[in-house]
Amino acid sequence: MAYYTGTTTSGADLITAIQNAAVANSWVLTSGILSKGNVYAQLSQWNPVIPDVTPAKGVGIQVGTGASGAALTGANGNIVGVRTDMDTTYGAVPLVYPCTYHIFINESPDEIVVAVNYNSLYWQWLAFGQSTTIGITGTGIYCWGSMFPGTASTDAHAGFTVDSAFGYRNKRPCFYGQIYQRWVIGTNIASSWIHLDMDSQDWWGNQFAAQSIVDVYYSVGDILRKQPNTWNSESLLVRTMLLAQRADSFWSYVAEFPHFRYVRNTFFDDGEVITLGSDDWFVAPIIKKDLDHPLGQDALLEYHSGTNGFAVRKTT
């Protein structure tokens, strides 16, 4: 397990940094595909909306159950990742270079999380690896990213909210292009994917229009909304317990990401490290911290995530 940080000036350099960090921690790089155990992952430069207009490209990730030469086999539905080409109608701030990257590599299960910090205050994320699964036949291989490859939709590039008129399902979290949060554009493009091989569906995503939906509405939303504690100002590190929608609107607890947490970052600085016992957790905003709108309720008008953040297990 390891942690790396540095500055990069291009998507190509960021890919190289991720690959080098992975190889240094027992991942294998063959024909551009990283693998470890039964996880196969392919990083690429991408500008899914305006590929020929924006020369400085972001970084995309796609995973599969195998590889044949330089191609993934059994791949998830679409690439996800960090982007430089974004619709700015609602104030979105695209990734720009140079930027600072933070790479977190964990084991048991194997996982790589990448946080990219740019323009001082803004963050984008991507991750891939293996989840801890509960009672399913699938591999639990997954990937997720801050951005998905749809059209230049303003919804796709809006902010984050846990309690507002813009929140899907009242008072539960809804944000666009983040880890296993359902989003409301009517397409089958997802920002988060996991291999469950359940109910005649191999890959499950967080796309609203699909039949096979996974998200963390009911396991995360209400807990986040009630943080931080009004008595002692503490915030819980909330586990990412993944639920899958089944027949007759039932839900099943199918997976978890042991090295990753949600957190209200009201009293934590960007990049602050929380030590709990023998574990260190790196805290950063989902998009951008905004103390004036802690629940992110104006996030469709201002590109921020209130005081909602991620915490990643950091091992050096």
**pLDDT, tens only, 162-195:** 544 333 322 223 333 345 454 444 445 577 888 9
Give the model's pLDDT for residue 36: 98
Q: Pick the residue with more confidence: 174 or 300?
A: 300
Mean pLDDT of the chain: 82
Contact yes or no for 177/183 (Cβ under 8 A): yes
> Cα–Cα distance between 152 and 185 in angstroms, integer?
12
Give the model's pLDDT for residue 110: 97
In 107-159, which ranges are E strands?
111-118, 122-130, 132-133, 141-145
Q: What is the mean pLDDT of residues 48-65?
A: 77
Instruction: Output phi, psi for 41, to 5 deg.
Output: -140, 140
Give the model's pLDDT for residue 165: 38
Q: Pick the residue with more confidence: 55 or 224?
A: 224
Give the model's pLDDT for residue 74: 95
Share of the chain above pLDDT 90, in %: 47
**Minimum mean pLDDT range among 8-22, 55-69, 79-93, 294-308:** 294-308
Q: Would you place residue 217 in the very low, low, confident or very high pLDDT band (cuts 50, 70, 90)?
A: low
> Cα–Cα distance between 162 and 169 in angstroms, integer?
10
Give the model's pLDDT for residue 204: 84
Model confidence, pTM: 0.89
> Cα–Cα distance between 295 and 210 in angstroms, integer?
28
> Cα–Cα distance between 94 and 151 in angstroms, integer?
15
What does the pLDDT look like over 16-33, one tens digit per residue?
999 999 999 999 999 999
> Cα–Cα distance between 250 and 175 in angstroms, integer?
22
